[in-house]
Amino acid sequence: MRRVLLRAARGAGMGAVLLFFGFPILWMLLTSLKERIYLYQPGRWLFPPTLDNYMAALVKYGILDYVRNSAIVATGNTVLSLAVGVTAAYGLSRFAFRGREAVALGILLARLFPTITLVIPFFVLAFLLRLLDTHILLILIYLTFNVPFVVWAMRAYFEDIPKEIEEAALVDGCTRFTAFTRCILPAARPGLFATGVMCFILAWNEFNYALFLTSRAAKTVPTAIAFFRTERGILWGEVSALGVIAILPVLVIAAVAHNVLLRGFSLEGGQQ
């Protein structure tokens, strides 16, 4: 009896958590399927669904161009952040040198600066370099918050991998780089994937830099929300459709690779 009660309590707790986090997404989805007349009846759950809000977002406002820009920026930044952050994390986890912890702390502190305080310096620098409203500008600027995240996440992961693996590879004649690429990286694959997904999400959702440093050619999905604030008020149907489109890639990634993500976010993943 006690086991049944514990199982029921656990199920109720999980249901409450799922409701708490899932209800806003469900509400946004329902709002995106409503005609404008039903938006003023928020308590109405039964209504004839329509795709007009999605058609307006995709055709009238050209959201697909923004989705493409977000995909280019997020993918490029994720690859570059992993390339830079993983090598830095490996160095901090394997090589002992004076000031190692200070360097690691300095990298972390770089992520603590509010993005809004760096917009003007980045704007001036991008203007001088003629990089305003370009994908490469956002890819490089997003390194300021993604590289520190990669360094600290992967440093802990590398430290959990036994050093004997590398030592055996070095004894067999491998160079340090070969041991790193052939032994350490495969062992850290779950952590790499999980960290890469988080980097992609952070770059996909970034708003301030994309809003102030782009005008048209490199605008990303989060900045498109400004379209739907008009003299008639906020167009909630189109905003909700944009929100569904924005979170869809993240939900697809999480659904397809949730097992790998769970292994990657656990400390035990580095021992596999």
pLDDT the model gives residue 129: 92
pLDDT of residue 132: 92
The pLDDT value recorded for residue 88 is 92
Angstrom distance (rounded) from CA 77 to CA 203: 7
pLDDT in tens, 85-144: 999 999 888 888 888 888 888 888 888 888 888 999 999 999 999 999 999 999 999 999
Is the distance from CB of 84 to CB of 147 less than 8 angstroms? Answer: yes
How high is the pLDDT of residue 266?
58
Q: Tokens 């620098």 map to which residue? A: 125
158-192: string of b/e by CB count within 10 Å (b at 16+)?
A: bebbeeeebeebeeeebeeeebbeebbbebbebbb
For 9, other C-beta atoms within 10 Å of its C-beta total: 10
User: How far is residue 140's CA from residue 119's CA, in Å, rounded to a whole number?
Assistant: 13
CA quadruple 23, 25, 31, 33: dihedral sign? negative
Rounded to whole angstroms, the Cα distance separating 262 from 31 reads 31
Q: Report whether 170 contacts 76 (CB < 8 A).
A: no
Q: Smallest Cα–Cα separation from 204: which of 254, 158, 262, 152?
A: 254
Helical ranges in 95-188 per DSSP H: 100-110, 115-129, 135-141, 143-159, 164-171, 176-179, 185-187
For residue 44 the two structure tokens come to 């109405």
Q: Are residues 251 and 226 in contact, defined by beta-carbon separation less than 8 angstroms?
A: no
Contacts of 85 (CB under 8 A, 6+ apart): 146, 147, 148, 149, 150, 151, 154, 195
- Terminus-to-terminus CA distance in the chain, angstroms? 38
What fold is seen in the domain 52-271? Answer: MetI-like fold (1.10.3720)
> Would you give per-residue pLDDT tens digits along the chain (272 residues)?
678 778 888 888 888 888 888 888 888 888 888 888 887 777 777 788 888 888 888 888 888 899 999 999 999 999 999 999 999 999 888 888 888 888 888 888 888 888 888 999 999 999 999 999 999 999 999 999 999 999 988 888 888 888 888 888 888 888 888 888 888 888 888 888 888 888 998 999 899 999 999 988 899 998 888 777 777 777 888 888 888 988 888 888 777 766 666 665 554 444 44
pTM: 0.83
Q: What is the pLDDT of residues 122-138, one digit of tens each?
A: 999 999 999 999 999 99
The confidence score (pLDDT) of residue 82 equals: 94
